[in-house]
Structure 1
């Protein structure tokens, strides 16, 4: 899977340029946004909940997730106004990393507000990850595909931008296959995340 993506030609965008381009395309008449997340450890500096999580204040981190409620609700209202269907597939490795344990509490809020998120157990795609992991991608309709990139420390660092229609269409089709194979978010969360003890972190 994702062969055309691996061979595709892209343009590297800095983080500000990526955000600028994303907003332009997002508001330009597309009707879908698909996001595939694969990494298991990231840093989200400036997000109060993550900052508390990163210093071991687990209860505080969970309470601060709620600060995002209205921001996320506004995002979903805007998507509805623009007629955009948003979907996310989150790949999760076992044992679950502290970051993913924290992130899934954030995603639970998004699901509560209407986000369409499914979970893929990484063990269930080991057959297609023998050479490389599935990519971190954001697909905006048929217009553009971004490979989100991070620095060595796990900080967001921009994106590689693809506009070739074959690359976009084939990657979208492959995303659909994996999304359909994924598990419902709440079923996974209740079984695998809710029973876990607070994680030990070291950032």
Structure 2
């Protein structure tokens, strides 16, 4: 387990990017990665998804339609996985999970299963695995691309994407890459986790108020 200070981004200078600037920068840099893997850590348990038909179906209370629409993305994820393999670069995702699951996370885990089964590897780790590093604050949402750049992805209090802070200091990027890769090695495959802990759950319900 790394020293928490080695991963702390609170006072580390970086370049603040708006949501659109982050998306543009990510697409550009991701397309340039060859021969080196990339990593993503997801820690928050609640987000708000925009422009997602499956999420919209979930909000309407149509759980089966939400799951069906997840499945419709299988071809897209298979294409992305083929393109990544052709570049010699695989995008790995680690999903930190707290139980009982939030409604959002129950929805997202089914989406991540489709990604994992389509060739974009996803593994799950329990929140207890990272809690020793969170005495000061929860771990941030982080993406590293090819060992060259790290994005601390930002969200509003409501869980809407709010751009990112870009870091390019090689030592910082390397520390985070090793950390997320280590979590991935210790994690459980997404399909196994969903079969074991999620598939049998009743349809989640969002509460209001």
TM-score interval (norm. to shorter): over 0.9
Measured in 2, the distance between the counterparts of 1:188 and 1:66 equals 18
The Cα shift of 1:8 comes to 2.3
The Cα shift of 1:92 comes to 0.5
Match among 201, 204, 209 for residue 199 of structure 1: 204
1:99 is matched with 104
The Cα shift of 1:181 comes to 2.0
1:9 is matched with 13
1:88 is matched with 93
Measured in 1, the distance between the counterparts of 2:66 and 2:127 equals 26
Could you say if the C-alpha distance between residues 58 and 29 of structure 1 is closer, same or farther in structure 2, counting changes exceeding 3 Å? closer
SS of residue in 1 equivalent to 2:32: coil
Asked if structure 2 preserves the Cα contact closer than 8 Å seen for 1:37 and 1:91, the reply is: yes
1:119 is matched with 124
2:135 is the alignment partner of 1:133: no
Match among 42, 52, 59 for residue 54 of structure 1: 59
Higher mean C-alpha deviation, range 86-95 or range 122-131: 122-131
TM-score normalised according to structure 2 size: 0.91
Measured in 2, the distance between the counterparts of 1:170 and 1:37 equals 17
RMSD over aligned Cα atoms: 1.5
1:23 is matched with 27
Q: Please list every run of 5 or more consecutive structure 1 residues that lacks an aligned counterpart in the other structure.
A: none
1:187 is matched with 192
Measured in 2, the distance between the counterparts of 1:188 and 1:149 equals 27
The Cα shift of 1:146 comes to 0.2
2:165 is matched with 160
1:10-42 CA-to-partner distances (Å, cap 9, x unmatched) read 111111111111111112234211000011111
Measured in 1, the distance between the counterparts of 2:33 and 2:55 equals 33
Match among 131, 142, 148 for residue 153 of structure 2: 148
Could you say if the C-alpha distance between residues 104 and 188 of structure 1 is closer, same or farther in structure 2, counting changes exceeding 3 Å? same
The Cα shift of 1:191 comes to 1.2
Measured in 2, the distance between the counterparts of 1:72 and 1:54 equals 24
The Cα shift of 1:116 comes to 1.2
SS of residue in 2 equivalent to 1:27: helix
SS of residue in 2 equivalent to 1:36: strand
Greater RCO between the two (CA within 8 Å, min separation 6)? 1
Q: How many residues align?
A: 203
